[in-house]
Amino acid sequence: MKAFCLNNISKVALDTLKGKDGTVDNIEACDSILVRSAEMKEMDLPENVLAVARAGAGVNNIPLDKYAKEGVVVFNTPGANANAVKELVLAGLLLASRDIIGGNEWVKANTADENIGKTAEKAKKAFAGTEILGKTIAVVGLGAIGILVANACVKLGMKVVGYDPFLSTQNALKLDAKVRYTTNLKDAVKEADFVTIHVPAMETTKGMINDELIEEMKKNVCILNFSRDTLVKEDALGAALEAGNVRKYVTDFANAKVVNFKNTIVLPHLGASTEEAEDNCALMAIQQLKDYLENGNIKNSVNYPAIDAGVKNGAVRITINHKNVPGVINHFTKVVADAGANINTLVSQSRGEFAYTILDADKAVDANLFKGVEGVIRVRVI
């Protein structure tokens, strides 16, 4: 593994690269790229780059389709920063329920008052809030972060409603039995004192918090958004805040519009900004890159299918990035047979218009023979 880093990557993670593995200073000499927030949308990669790993969950800075067409597998690290985000969501929950920020700002503005202790006793009623014990929170999205938030809120004594129409079996098993699960979004939010959003930003989720859904919520609801700002229709939110229908909006995404809304707490995208999360994301990214480079396996790719063929079972392992076209596997097996070799392992998966095949053969097969097959993008021999 020869990785090129587009951003500063956790030293803890990079220190795990030993022997022939390591980082390089020249992108022309690398086989993989580690990235966090660097913009890659207009970036053309040299042919030697086999994979890109984002040390984090969001990949809106990476041209996924472009790289898929070039046979470059893009990875992310879902769940590696989940605890960091969960903890900030809990902090946001408390900030929304108690006017901690207002009280702190009052103290800072009155530092010259020699009798501030007594004055504070008179002033504190202006910053009174509510407790979260016994309140209802709707957790919209039960992925890696949403599950942790829902379970933590149960432990804090809250009533929790979880919404996710695509809840996986794996996550369902992790969900606290006290969480009331629903696949109806309006049902999830209608009795909630707090609504927290934990869904990916996609065309189907863009603007999901809109006028219609806000009207279904209780008056004085607090909305927390630590996922993406595009999930909220901000004109609708601003009007609801102005009218007092939404009591507080806490978000981790600053933009020119939302920072001017009343009753908002806007943070500078701190969700995954902990030492532990940065280490975890980078470690996971490196592990996924190494498994792909050494074994051809793909886990947590965002532009190619997941596939695991274990370790090499034969003289060679051949990996093929290709278009998802009919009959292509028959062509691959014919190439191997014509070379006088047997196939020990063959695994193939598709994702949309792209597919990926791993096959182990009992003797060497010329990789160039696969390149003439229709739809083949990249061939690699391990």
Domains and CATH numbers, the chain: 1-80+275-304 (3.40.50.720), 82-266 (3.40.50.720), 307-382 (3.30.70.260)
17 burial type by CB count under 10 A (0-12 exposed, 13-18 middle, 19+ buried): middle
Closest CA to 350 of 312, 320, 381: 320
Tokens standing for residue 358: 């791993």
What's at 164, amino acid-wise?
Answer: D
Tokens standing for residue 328: 């292509």
User: What is the per-residue pLDDT for 79?
Assistant: 92
User: Over its length of 382 residues, how does the chain's per-residue pLDDT go in tens digits?
Assistant: 999 999 999 999 999 999 999 999 999 999 999 999 999 999 999 999 999 999 998 898 999 999 999 999 999 999 999 999 999 999 999 999 999 999 999 999 999 999 999 999 999 999 999 999 999 999 999 999 999 999 999 999 999 999 999 999 999 999 999 999 999 999 999 999 999 999 988 899 999 999 999 999 999 999 999 999 999 999 999 999 999 999 999 999 999 999 999 999 999 999 999 999 999 999 999 999 999 999 999 999 999 999 999 999 999 999 999 999 999 999 999 999 999 999 999 999 999 999 999 999 999 999 999 998 999 999 999 9
Tokens standing for residue 346: 């063959």
DSSP H helices in 110-247: 116-123, 144-155, 169-174, 185-189, 211-216, 234-243
Four-residue CA torsion sign, 70, 55, 269, 195: positive
What's at 355, amino acid-wise?
Answer: A
DSSP H helices in the chain: 11-14, 64-69, 82-97, 100-109, 116-123, 144-155, 169-174, 185-189, 211-216, 234-243, 275-295, 328-338
Contact call for residues 31 and 50 (beta carbons, < 8 A): yes
For residues 256 and 232, what is the distance between their CA atoms, to the nearest angstrom?
14
CA angle 95, 124, 240 (to 5 degrees): 45
Place of tokens 């920020």: 101
For residues 98 and 103, what is the distance between their CA atoms, to the nearest angstrom?
9
Cα 332 off chain centre by: 35
Helix (H, G, I), strand (E, B) or coil at 97: helix
User: What is the per-residue pLDDT for 57?
Assistant: 86
User: What is the per-residue pLDDT for 201?
Assistant: 86
CA angle 162, 167, 173 (to 5 degrees): 85
DSSP 3: E
pLDDT of 75-87, one tens digit each?
999 999 999 999 9
User: What is the per-residue pLDDT for 160?
Assistant: 98
Closest CA to 317 of 249, 381, 224, 257: 381
Tokens standing for residue 95: 């900030």
For residues 270 and 86, what is the distance between their CA atoms, to the nearest angstrom?
11
Tokens standing for residue 333: 């097996």
**Single pTM value for the model:** 0.85
CA angle 215, 220, 225 (to 5 degrees): 80
CA angle 292, 59, 181 (to 5 degrees): 100
Reported as type and span, the H/E element at residue 54 is strand 51-54
Tokens standing for residue 295: 């074994």
Tokens standing for residue 345: 């392992």
Q: Which residues pair with 5 in a beta bridge?
A: 34
**What's the half-sphere exposure (Cβ side, CA atoms, 13 Å) at 185?**
17
Q: Do the bridges between strand 136-140 and strand 51-54 make them parallel or antiparallel, or are there none, so unpaired?
A: unpaired
User: What is the per-residue pLDDT for 369?
Assistant: 95
Helix (H, G, I), strand (E, B) or coil at 109: helix
User: What is the per-residue pLDDT for 325?
Assistant: 95
Longest CA–CA span in the chain (Å) reads 92
